[in-house]
Amino acid sequence: MPRIIERGDGRPIVVVPGIQGRYEWGLPTVDALAGLGRVVTFSLADEPTSGFAWTESAGFENYLTQLEAVIGVTCATPPVLVGVSYGGLIAAEFAARHPGRVSSLVIASSPPPSWRLPERALRYLKAPRLMAPVFWLGAPLRAYPELKAALPSSRDRWHFVFDHGRRIAAAPASSMRMVRRLRWLETAHFSLDHRIDVPSLIVTGEPELERVVPPADTLEYRAWLPGARVVTLAHTGHNGCVTKARDFAAAVSGLIAGLPYPSETVRAHRVS
Q: What are phi and psi of 202, to 5 degrees?
A: -115, 125
Q: Which residues does residue 13 pair with via DSSP β-bridges, in sequence order? A: 39, 80
Side chain identity, residue 131: M
Considering the domain delimited by 5-256, tell me its CATH architecture.
Answer: 3-Layer(aba) Sandwich (3.40)
pTM exceeds cut of 0.85? yes
pLDDT(239) > 90: yes
Higher pLDDT residue, 230 or 141? 230
pLDDT for 120 equals 63
Distance set, CA 50 to CA 45, 69, 109, 229 (Å): 6, 13, 24, 32
pLDDT category, 270, cuts 50, 70, 90? very low
pLDDT in tens, 51-74: 999 999 999 999 999 999 999 999
- Contact status, residue 236 vs residue 150, Cβ threshold 8 Å: yes
Q: What mean pLDDT is predicted for residues 170-186?
A: 90
Higher pLDDT residue, 206 or 183? 206
**Mean pLDDT across the chain, nearest whole number?**
89
Q: What are phi and psi of 135, to 5 degrees?
A: -65, -50
Q: Which residues, at least 6 apart from 44, have a Cβ–Cβ distance to it below 8 Å?
A: 17, 21, 50, 63, 66, 181
- Contact status, residue 79 vs residue 14, Cβ threshold 8 Å: yes
